[in-house]
Amino acid sequence: MAGEAVGHAAEAAAHGIDLVPVVVLLAAGVIGVPLFKRLGLGSVLGYLAAGLLLGPSGIALITDPGAVLSAAELGVVMFLFIIGLEMEPSKLWALRKQIFGLGIIQVTICGALLTGVGILLGFTPVVAFIFGMGFVLTSTAIVMQLLGERGDLVTDSGQKMVSILLLEDLAIVPLLGVVAILAPHTGDQGLLARFAGIGIALGAVLLLIFLGRRIMNPFFALLAGTKLREVMTAGALLVVLGAALLFQVSGLSMAMGAFLAGVLLSTSTFRHQLEADVEPFRGILLGLFFLAVGMSLDLAIAAENWIIIATSVVAYMLVKAIAIYVIARLLKSSHGEALERAVLMSQGGEFAFVLYTTAAAVGIIDAPTNAIFTATVIISMVLTPLAIIGLRFAMPKSTQSMEGVEEADGLSSKILLIGFGRFGQIASQPLLAMRHSVSIIDNDTEMIRAAAQIGFKIYYGDGTRLDILHAAGAGSADIILVCIDNKTNTTRIAELLRDEFPLAKVMARAFDRGHAIELIRAGVDFQIRESFESALAFGGEAIRRLGATAEEADDVVAGVRERDRQRFELQMAGGEQMAGRHLLISNAEDQAREGGVAVDPEQVEETVANSTHASAPV
């Protein structure tokens, strides 16, 4: 049997089915990446290191990284498609100044500076231009991955970087045109071909826009009618890869084709379904891309030309980072934001490989020079995750701008409200409706400025500090409302008020049942769980819609509220979360009855008591 199995394996290998590279790559991903994440080095560096180990410069289990890289570029394509799905046309239009303003400024200035660096390193002006402009094109995959892992894609700083990356991805198109112009032995026929290429590219863009606006929605509606998940997945992949192919054969970037397809589908009713279908492929292929980049680093070439490569990496990354920082500061970005952008975008990117390969194909640079340029970009990509780790120590501590914000000092209203988030805003309305004078403090300056735009006067102050409570008038207040959303700080404030201002009545927002008990023991006069009453109203409306009269619904809600009060008193007296559990109305008996299973109520109670979730607040 064993011999027969070996024979089948050999036969499969002979017919081109070789699972060894697939298994090796998957193993590298599932072992190396979690290890690097555990060490705090990030997933990107884990993929790059695993690729370097597996590639020709390592143990050589993968001997053709170029083939892997070509396939893995689909990961970048799918990543751009998903980013496009998040970029509705209105949102993209709102970013037009950043894309075509900030993006063009950064690409132009960095390109000029890096071209100058290339000339100083001894390259001819044309070759230095190719080298510098390729390095300007930041790695979309790395930056997007890092921003996504940190949850910064939707922040203002993240949106600016996304805008620059989009412009850089667009820039590859005219740069390839410039390479064709700079190529030796170009004549009139070449010029006509270039104009024809521009026309074909514009036609591809217009065709994709037409298909996206007129065809794709009916197409997916037709597929949805089949109610077959695999058909919808195939349709999603067809759209992504079809758009990429259309742009590729038109001389444009595959990633930009996928991005534009995503933008056109961002307002579609099938948007979330498409994202769910593409996401698994995107994650695997993007990881494969980073593995392939690591494999592509030829340590032999790097060792042979280590002086020029090391000098180029340091010079290009340093000059690019300084330029990005200065541009960001001149355009009113904070020091921290400018520093973060400079470090994140200081490396070269995957589109540099396209530019260098094209330049080598038309004779502008030779093969060894192409290898040096490529190694420089790859090393810069490998160094970026390490630079991000160093950035943690260099980043200034975040401080809030106090512009337009007044600190609490000498307040004397009889009512003090601490925390003006969604809970505090609603709680303030009955008080203000009764014309009571209310002093309000909060420690979020952005929220304070936003509240000022709709007519509220909020003072800056941290309620956990005793001196701020004095300045906010806690000593003269009749009642103090603690409405912040931090459990620990709420309890801390309640304890300060109990010890320092015992005459004031204190009302506090509780997070859950356990926190409510904690607050009562800290001395508050009244507490309410933030979602308790809204949840009761929600459930009451549900039974009304199921046929209960308004009076019946009110009686049921009142009964639930009374049961909760009794249970709460038992928990306060006994000090146990499970006290009064007999007062909870359970669905276990009904569910078991529907399944035809007899239920012992005492057994249900014992099961609940022994459950791992028994301490969860209800």
Pairing, β 526-529 against β 479-482: unpaired
pLDDT at 263 over 70: yes
State the Cα–Cα distance between residues 271 and 268, nearest whole angstrom: 5
pLDDT at 301 over 60: yes
Residue corresponding to tokens 């990117």: 349
pLDDT reported for residue 457: 92
CA distance readout (Å), 204 to 7, 127, 194, 261, 602? 50, 31, 15, 12, 71
pLDDT at 125 over 80: yes
Residues in the chain: 618
Q: 441 - beta bridge partners?
A: 418, 459
**Residue 250: burial class (beta carbons within 10 Å; 0-12, 13-18, 19+):** buried
pLDDT at 5 over 60: no
pLDDT reported for residue 1: 43
pLDDT tens by residue, 232-257: 888 888 888 888 888 878 877 677 78
Sketch the domain layout of the chain as residue ranges. 29-62+71-182+198-393, 415-529
pLDDT at 456 over 70: yes
pLDDT at 198 over 60: yes
Contact 73, 315 (CB under 8 A): no
pLDDT at 114 over 90: yes
pLDDT tens by residue, 168-192: 877 776 787 677 777 775 444 455 6
pLDDT at 292 over 90: no
Mean pLDDT, all residues of the chain: 80
Entry pTM? 0.58
CATH tag, 415-529: 3.40.50.720
Mean local confidence (pLDDT), 11-39: 71
CATH tag, 29-62+71-182+198-393: 1.20.1530.20
Mean local confidence (pLDDT), 282-290: 75
Sheet of 479-482: strand order equals 459-460, 438-442, 415-418, 479-482, 505-510, 526-529
Query: 441 versus 601: which is more confidently predicted?
Result: 441
Residues 6+ apart with CB under 8 A from 77: 240, 241, 244, 254, 255, 257, 258
Write out the two tokens for 221. 């509606």
Q: 438 - beta bridge partners?
A: 415
| Helix ranges (DSSP H) in 531-611 | 532-545, 550-574, 588-594, 601-610
> In three state form, how does the secondary structure of 240-293 look?
HHHHHHHHHHCCCCHHHHHHHHHHHCCCCCCHHHHHHHHHHHHHHHHHHHHHHH
